[in-house]
Amino acid sequence: MTPNKEDYLKMIFELGGDTALISNKQIVAGLSVSAASVSEMITKLVEQHYVTHTPYQGIKLTASGQQKAAMLVRNHRLWEVFLVQSLGYPVDAIHQEAEKLEHATTGEMADRLAAMLGEPHYCPHGGVIPDADGHYIDQSRVALAECTPGTKGHIERVVDEAAVIDYIFALGLHIEDHFTVVDNDAKAVTIHQTETGRDLVVDRVRAQHIFVELKA
C-alpha cells in the first residue's frame, strides 16, 4: 500500500518534526518509500501549509500540520488501545487494524472511545496519545542510533510503523526493556538486553526509529 498524505504527516510528527527540522532521508527510511516520492509529497504538503521546507535544512510541521498530525496519531493509538484492551488482540497484530480504522474516525468517535478506555496516555508501542485539543506529553527524542557504547537506558517508544514494530518483535525487543549499549558502528547498534541477558544487534536504520530514555 502506498503511504498517503496522512501517513506522511504522522511520520514527520513521530520523527520529531513538531519541534525540529527533519530530513527527506529520515522520511524515506521511516515509510520505506523512494526519495522521489517523498519530494513529491513534501511539495504538496507545503502547498497545503502543513509543513515548511527549507532547502538543505529540513522539513518542519506548521501549527496546522502539527494539529492535524496530532489528531491522526490520537485516532490511531486510541484504536490500538481498544484492540488490545477490549478485543484481546496481541500487541504485535494491532497496527494494521488501527491503520484502517483511523481514517474513518470522527472527533466525536475518538472522544467517546477515549472516555470508554479511561483516557489512556500511551499506546501499546509507547507512543503518546494527544488529548482532544491536540496537546500531548513530550516524549524522548533520543534515538538508539545516537547512543555511544556504555550508555544505559530503556526503550521508551518506537515509530508507529508496521516495518519498525515487526522488526523489534522479531528481534525480541520490547517497550520498557532495559539495555546497555555494547557497540555502535556504521551498520548496527549492539545492545545488551538486561531482561534476558542477551546481546541484540539492531540494524542502524531501525535504531533511528527506536527512542530511548537514558539512565541518569
Binding-site residue total for Zn ion (CB under 5 A)? 5
Nearer Cβ to Zn ion (79/179) = 79
What is the residue whose three cell numbers read 504522522?
10
Q: Is 160 in the site for Zn ion (CB under 5 A)?
A: yes
Q: Is 68 in the site for Zn ion (CB under 5 A)?
A: no
- What phi, psi does 92 have (nearest 5°)? -80, 5
- List the alpha helices (DSSP H) in 86-211: 95-102, 107-116, 162-171, 204-207
Nearer Cβ to Zn ion (99/151) = 99
Give the shortest CB-63-to-Zn ion separation in angstroms. 24
Site for Zn ion in 120-139 (CB under 5 A): 123, 125, 127
Site for Zn ion in 75-94 (CB under 5 A): 80
Q: Is 177 in the site for Zn ion (CB under 5 A)?
A: no
Binding residues (CB under 5 A) for Zn ion: these are 80, 123, 125, 127, 160
